[in-house]
Amino acid sequence: MIRFARKFNASLLALAAACALVPGVALAQETTLKAISAWPEGNWFSINFDRFVAKVNAEGKGLVQINYLGGGAKVMPPFEVGNAAKTGVADIVNVSGGFYTTVLPEGDAMSLSTLTPAEMRKNGAYDYINRLWGEKMNVRYLGRSRDGIPVHIFLKKPISKPDLTGMRMRSIPLYRPILEALNVQSQLNIPYGEVYTAMERGVIDGYVWPLVGLFDVSLEKQTKYRLDPGFYTVEVGMLVNLGAWNKLNAQQKAFLEKTALWIEQQNVTDNAKIMEDEKKKLAAAGVETITLGANDAKTLLTKANDSVWTSLVTRSPEHGPKLRALLTK
């Protein structure tokens, strides 16, 4: 009996060793995912994704690794990154919902949330988003690499009320409704890296931008005023192609989800100081703050929220109202 057991164990070891040499067998668990970001590595909008990738590769050896191809226009035009996740050109991407509305009109809703990611997970918003994003975009919404920072209107000349009559502004689809509501003369879809030149040459009078990120492209040199209050919230999501996600085993999925939660917690921990530091830097660079009075501030915020939600519900009458109920207090 002992001799049989020894032979049996030896056979198992031999089989395991042989399997380890055969690609695709269950024992070879490590999976590598191709990743890209809509912004260059080191850019504020990519930094947390860079950290996510580094943590996965450091702690996921033998389980999951990420082949990070980089980000920004040198890799792929930013507004094509969402579609790259949909089609499987990339397995995981770092991109804002406002960048892929041609693929998924409901993407704009992600910047309109007044809830934290933790609250969205608790109230079922993430579950609804993953069903919708999966059905219409073929992706899993893994989590937010950036969240909770407001956007502001930045200008070359001052205003005293929420009215941009006669101005030319750089815009993206998310901001079009609010700029229309503020009577902007014209909106130009200028790539991220070309806004500085457009401001310098007087092609535009201003732009809508998150509180952070101006220094990455030196926009503080061409900007004179920031309008308070801010509105919306920065949302940069990590999307995983559904085909790639479904090939992962339970342990690999759990590991990626745990790491995504870690990144989301970094935002909770860091955002207050980030905003405080950025305001000081902008002031030191000569960017003045225009603070609207209470009534004008309320007008701005009402126009900002109602204009975009109205547009979104018009484009998505089935899902728009549900998303607004789940994402706002």
* Average pLDDT of span 318-329: 95
For residue 2, tell me if it sits in a domain.
no
Q: Sorting pLDDT into bands at 50, 70 and 90, what band is 2?
A: very low
- For residues 140 and 68, state if they share a domain: yes
- For residues 93 and 65, state if they share a domain: yes
Yes or no: say if 180 and 307 are a contact pair by the CB < 8 Å rule. yes
For residue 4, tell me if it sits in a domain.
no
For residue 5, tell me if it sits in a domain.
no
E runs forming strands in the chain:
31-37, 64-71, 92-95, 139-147, 151-155, 168-170, 186-188, 206-210, 225-231, 235-241, 288-291
- For residues 46 and 175, state if they share a domain: no
For residue 16, tell me if it sits in a domain.
no
- For residues 228 and 315, state if they share a domain: yes
Q: Which residue has the higher pLDDT, 19 or 277?
A: 277
The rounded percent of the chain whose pLDDT value lies above 90 is: 88
- What tens digit of pLDDT does each residue of 115-160 get? 999 999 999 999 999 999 999 999 999 999 999 999 999 999 999 9
Q: Residue 206's beta-bridge partner residues? A: 155, 169
- For residues 118 and 243, state if they share a domain: yes
Q: Residue 166's beta-bridge partner residues? A: none
- For residues 228 and 119, state if they share a domain: no
CA end-to-end span of the chain, whole Å?
Answer: 69
For residue 309, tell me if it sits in a domain.
yes
Res 329: pLDDT: 87
* CATH number of the domain within which 158 lies: 3.40.190.170
Q: Cα 69 from chain centroid?
A: 17
- What tens digit of pLDDT does each residue of 13-58 get? 443 444 444 443 344 489 999 999 999 999 999 999 999 999 999 9
Res 22: pLDDT: 40
- For residues 211 and 284, state if they share a domain: yes
197 half-sphere exposure, CB direction, 13 A CA radius: 5
- For residues 139 and 186, state if they share a domain: no
* Average pLDDT of span 171-193: 92
What domain count does the chain have? 2
* Residues whose CB falls within 8 Å of the CB of residue 193, separated by 6 or more in sequence, listed in order: 72, 73, 217
Question: What residues make up the domain containing 155?
Answer: 151-232+277-327
Q: Sorting pLDDT into bands at 50, 70 and 90, what band is 285?
A: very high
For residue 13, tell me if it sits in a domain.
no
Among the ranges 14-23, 103-112, 189-198, which has the highest mean pLDDT value? 103-112
Q: Which residue has the higher pLDDT, 231 or 25?
A: 231
